[in-house]
A = this chain, B = another copy of it.
Amino acid sequence: MDFKDLLTDRYAAKAFQDRTIPEETIQELLEMIRLAPSGLNIQPWRIKVVADRATKAELLALAPDEPQIGGCSHLLVFCAHTDWEAQTQKLGRTMKEKTVPDKIWGIVMGIAAEMATEPEDELYAWIVGNVYMAATYGLLGAEALGLDACPMTHFPPAEFSRVLGLPDAVKPVLLVAVGYAADEPKPKWRYPLSDILL
């Protein structure tokens, strides 16, 4: 498939058929998401996959503006992992296991330590940005697999954490509902390049 066509055809599905995505297709999608790049390769994302109808209904009740939460086949809850120290340690250990050269190891660990001293809001935004990269892989991966998806952020994260029993260090930042669309794409509009180029 032509990549530009993939970008053009993708849209945020507003309604889904009552049809479940096969498990192997979901696994393919997750394997694509897993490949997303991240700064330092720290991979600061965690994902909760919600397929259970009762849980989706409970989440929908908390975010009633987003009917796709209840109607989709699978809801991917993209979370930011906010414990920088724990993640840095894990990254350091794993780089050693992967026999990353010592010089690279030192540079990466040095930058990670420096980032720990940044203003909290900058580090948090950086982490969230990386999670959105993984979510973008999810949106495009869904399209490539013949699925439809919708990203959503209008939901109460703390309530979602409670319902899903998420650990304290992870925070839901973006939902991606995946399934088979029951609507038609509306005309896509974007600002012209002249508006976005500086």
Contact = CB atoms under 8 A, between A and B. Distances in A.
A35 B196 CA distance: 12
Nearest to A43: B191
Interface residues of A, number: 69
B135 A188 contact: no
A30 interface: yes
A37 B139 contact: yes
So how many copies of this chain end up in the complex? 2
A190 interface: yes
Interface of A: 1, 3-4, 6-8, 10, 12, 27-28, 30-32, 34-37, 39, 41, 43, 45-49, 65, 77, 79, 94, 98, 107, 111, 120-121, 124-126, 128-133, 135-137, 139-141, 144, 151, 153-154, 164, 166-167, 170, 173-174, 187-193, 196-198
